[in-house]
Amino acid sequence: LSGNRRLSSVAGFLMGWDDQTQDHDRYALGQLTAGDVVELTARTPTGSTAAPMVYLYDANWNLVADEDGVPWDDHVQATIPATGVYYVWINTWEVYQGHGYLFHMANQTVHDAAATAATYGGYLVSLNSQAEWDWLTTVSTLRDGFDGHSYWIGLSDAAEEGVWRWADGTLLSEGDIATWYPGEPNYAAADYVRGYRVEGWLDETGTQNYYSLIESDAFAGRADGGAGPEARYVLDVAVTDDVPPRVVSTTRLPSDGQTTSLLLADWTLTVDEALDAASVAMEHITLTETGSGAAVPLTVAYDGDRLLTFTVDGAWRPLQSGLYRLSVDGLTDVMGNALDGDADGTGGDPYVRAFTVVLPSDVIVETTGNESITTATEVPWIDGGLVGYWSSQAYGSLSPTGDVDYWKVWLDEGDGLTAYVESPYSSMSMRPDLYNAAGGRVLDGYDPIHDGRYEDSVFYGYRAPASDWYYVAISRYDGVSDEYRLHLTRTDAAIAQETDDNHSNYSTPDVLAYALSGNRRLSSVAGFLMGWDDQTQDHDRYALGQLTAGDVVELTA
């Protein structure tokens, strides 16, 4: 670092052709911000054979315009057009008697090829002598263009039929070369010429798409050279950064002034460039519950690049219903440019996000700090209007990663409990364990994982051995931490509960147990139809056992 500039120098050499591979060196500049100015300079030490070309491009291979007025040379001055990752590419011209040569290995019409040559500061090759041609066809770094390919050269009789003129203005007849294929040229409407490998020239209309061999006059007075072990260079990179960092995206937080029903325990902010890690300090970050004025304790983790992860302290998470204001100030990039919080182009102001949390009212919502049996969220039962049947729903969030939520339910002796847990917004899968009031695990939540539809988990019909509080512990098994819904069913001892692990009672019906009442066998069972899972629809089946002709069966759902 030097003031507002990042500097780097690297030495290399362009070793030349290796079988089917041309040596072009690439360097990653990393994340750059729109408005940064990049200067690239390739210097050559004494005795180097390199004639470097340097260019700058983005992650999608889009070239960045060189603003120094001389394209395809050893210097680039460019302003970054959009924030992103950028790279340097460097290779070398092949130089012969003050002229540079290269192949442009993209298929183009002759007019497009000529336009491309002009962007290189050159033209389609003008072969003025047999010696020039002999040299070109023996240069290893040009071999990929010659081998098996057709390519445009700068020869045409478009101005006057039968008078072949090179792109540099000289006549073919003035030189000592005419490498036509036998019988060529042979078509009056074909005013342009392509070469095929090193075997000869053919006339063409110019609409076909071929490679192109480009020549430049920019190397007058320079010794012959090009790629090889002595094609040495030093690449100097200078990035001038006067652009302040700004926040470019968030996760989970609503937009400024908007409302969310999510259970917020953590969220992220992404900035557009690397920060000075020392500036990422809690003294610069506040979250306030504006109704009470209370400061909500936070921690922040910086990944060393562009991502900030905020986590609410366990005693406060998830955020309960209320109005909140997040302020992030004091951040700087590695060059010392202060955060542009309001994204107006001028740094030094905080990033502020005011938002409202309104938690759902139709379910029991996770309370703060419910990460143990002693702090579990109580789930009251809702009378289902059926004797001996109750249910309830709970809404929680397993954030941050590693969070475990505890839910407290009352069961009388003999009551049955079914727990179904789903993540409606993601593919997170969960483990539902069950504990008694003494903290002993009475149901291992590993087997129920994925026993519901898709990634959902479920356990069926746990029977309480004693009247007491029981605790359902929900933890993340797989996937990204997210919100979840817990569906609970309670029945008394007179009502059985289905078992339907992975839709199993469709193929293996649950066998009903009967109670006798006079000449009647009676049974009641509670279940639910969880819905479609891939190619399986949830249909519940029950086995009534052996019945006798004339028995009367009454079924009521």
DSSP-based three-state secondary structure for 142: helix
What span, in angstroms and rounded, lies between the C-alpha atoms of 430 and 478? 7
The DSSP code sequence of 181-250 is PTT-S--TT--EEEEETTTEEEEE-S-S-EEEEEEESTTTTPPSB-SSTT-EEEEEEEEE--PPP-EEEE
pTM of structure: 0.69
pLDDT of residue 541: 94
Task: Enter the tokens of residue 165.
Answer: 């003129």
- CB–CB of 101/142 below 8 Å? yes
CA dist 142 → 103, 119, 188, 226, 405 (Å) = 7, 19, 31, 10, 66
> pLDDT tens string for the chain (557 positions)?
898 999 999 999 998 776 666 788 999 999 999 999 999 999 999 999 999 999 999 999 999 999 998 888 999 999 999 999 999 999 999 999 999 999 888 999 999 999 999 988 899 999 999 999 999 988 866 776 677 889 999 999 999 999 999 999 999 999 999 999 999 999 999 999 999 988 999 999 999 999 999 999 989 888 899 999 999 999 999 999 999 999 999 999 999 999 999 999 999 999 999 999 999 999 999 999 999 999 999 999 999 999 999 999 988 989 999 999 999 999 999 999 999 999 999 999 999 999 999 999 989 999 999 999 999 999 999 999 999 999 999 999 998 888 999 999 999 999 999 999 999 888 999 999 999 999 999 999 999 999 998 899 999 999 999 999 999 999 999 998 899 999 999 999 999 999 988 778 878 999 999 999 999 999 999 999 988 877 778 889 999 999 999 999 999 99
State the Rg of the chain over Cα: 38
Task: Enter the tokens of residue 463.
Answer: 């029977």
Which long-range contacts (C-beta less than 8 Å, at least 24 apart) are formed by 82-85? 82/34, 82/58, 83/31, 83/32, 83/33, 83/34, 83/248, 83/272, 83/273, 84/31, 84/32, 84/58, 84/59, 85/28, 85/29, 85/30, 85/31, 85/32, 85/58, 85/59
What span, in angstroms and rounded, lies between the C-alpha atoms of 378 and 278? 43
Terminal Cα distance for the chain, rounded: 75
pLDDT of residue 141: 67
Which residue type, as a one-letter code, is found at position 351? Y
The domains located in the chain, with CATH, are 5-93+226-240 (2.60.120.380), 96-216 (3.10.100.10), 247-357 (2.60.40.1220), 364-503 (2.60.120.380)
pLDDT of residue 484: 96
Question: Considering only CA atoms, which of 509, 532, 345, 551 is closest in space to residue 456?
Answer: 532
Parallel, antiparallel, or unpaired for β 351-357 and 259-260? parallel
The alpha-helical segments, DSSP class H, found in 412-522 are 504-507
DSSP-based three-state secondary structure for 337: coil
